[in-house]
């Protein structure tokens, strides 16, 4: 489903939306939240990779030889934004187990709400791969925008972003800085509150994934 933001796609598949409601529920346990986030990210991965290029190769079935489709060229690279991004990485890898994985460590300064980088590790051939940035929340948009900027500096030419929920304020920030980068999400929520949290949201994704406060 398209949105008010041209580069943003809202995934309205019934299973995605159902699982998002379970994640939002404050009664969902840490274990349940972790499991559902993994299931949901697997479903979202199907959508974000829908247009991957294919080539035909010859294989032999138990009955005969045939031409069969296979992914063309270099495979994907998933780049979670630490730490919460790891919570939806496993579901992506369930769908594409051959993908490479990079990591970007960012935290949000509680006063300025600006991102601070503390870790970066990417595959050497990042420029040859479709890079999918994964992070549960796109709130102010600053962290995801900073992560994408660093990936571009490293040579990544094809980048997409996957997040569970977004705030319109954050999407405005992100799409202004990176209008060339598609965003895939399950929901564009109402707004940010005074503390930079998405409303109605689902709480702090990292805390709910790992049982911290």
Q: DSSP of 163-203, one letter per residue?
A: EEEE-HHHHHHHHHH-TTS-EEEEEE-SEE-TTS-EES--S
Query: With contact defined as beta carbons under 8 Å apart, do 98 and 108 qualify?
Result: no
Q: Residue 56 annotated as binding?
A: no
Does a cis peptide bond (omega within 30 degrees of 0) precede residue 207? no
193 in active site: no
Q: Is residue 194, in this structure, part of any structural domain at all?
A: yes
204 in active site: yes
Nearest Cα to 183, choosing from 117, 147, 132? 132
Q: Is residue 1, in this structure, part of any structural domain at all?
A: no
Spatial separation of the C-alpha atoms in residues 207 and 72, rounded to whole Å: 38
Spatial separation of the C-alpha atoms in residues 197 and 137, rounded to whole Å: 9
- Domain of residue 177 covers 8-210
Please compute Rg for the chain using Cα positions: 18
Supply the pTM of this predicted model. 0.91
CATH classification at residue 183: 3.40.50.2020
Count: domains in the chain: 1
Q: Is residue 2, in this structure, part of any structural domain at all?
A: no
Q: Residue 106 annotated as binding?
A: no
pLDDT of residue 1: 65
pLDDT of residue 75: 81
Q: Residue 176 annotated as binding?
A: no
| Mean pLDDT by groups of 10 residues along the chain of 213 residues | 82 96 96 95 94 93 96 87 89 92 85 81 93 94 93 95 96 96 97 92 90 82
pLDDT of residue 2: 59
Q: Residue 142 annotated as binding?
A: yes
Q: Is residue 85, in this structure, part of any structural domain at all?
A: yes
Catalytic residue, chosen from 65, 112, 124, 194, is: 112
112 in active site: yes
């Amino acid at each position: 489903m398209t949105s008010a933001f041209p580069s943003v796609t809202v995934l309205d598949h019934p299973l995605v939306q159902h699982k998002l409601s379970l994640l939002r529920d404050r009664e969902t346990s840490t274990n349940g939240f972790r499991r559902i986030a993994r299931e949901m990210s697997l479903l979202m991965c199907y959508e974000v990779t829908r247009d991957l290029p294919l080539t035909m190769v010859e294989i032999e079935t138990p009955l005969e030889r045939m031409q069969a489709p296979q992914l063309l060229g270099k495979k994907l690279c998933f780049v979670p934004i630490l730490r919460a991004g790891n919570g939806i990485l496993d579901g992506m890898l369930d769908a594409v187990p051959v993908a490479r994985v990079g990591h970007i460590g960012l935290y949000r300064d509680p006063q300025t709400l600006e991102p601070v980088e503390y870790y970066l590790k990417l595959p050497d051939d990042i420029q040859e791969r479709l890079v999918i940035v994964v992070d549960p929340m796109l709130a102010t948009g600053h962290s995801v925008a900073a992560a994408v900027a660093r990936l571009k500096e490293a040579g990544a030419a094809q980048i997409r972003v996957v997040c569970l929920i977004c705030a319109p304020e954050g999407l405005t920030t992100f799409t202004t800085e990176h209008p060339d980068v598609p965003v895939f999400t399950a929901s564009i929520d109402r707004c940010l509150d005074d503390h930079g949290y998405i409303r109605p949201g689902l709480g702090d994704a990292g805390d709910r994934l790992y049982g911290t406060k």
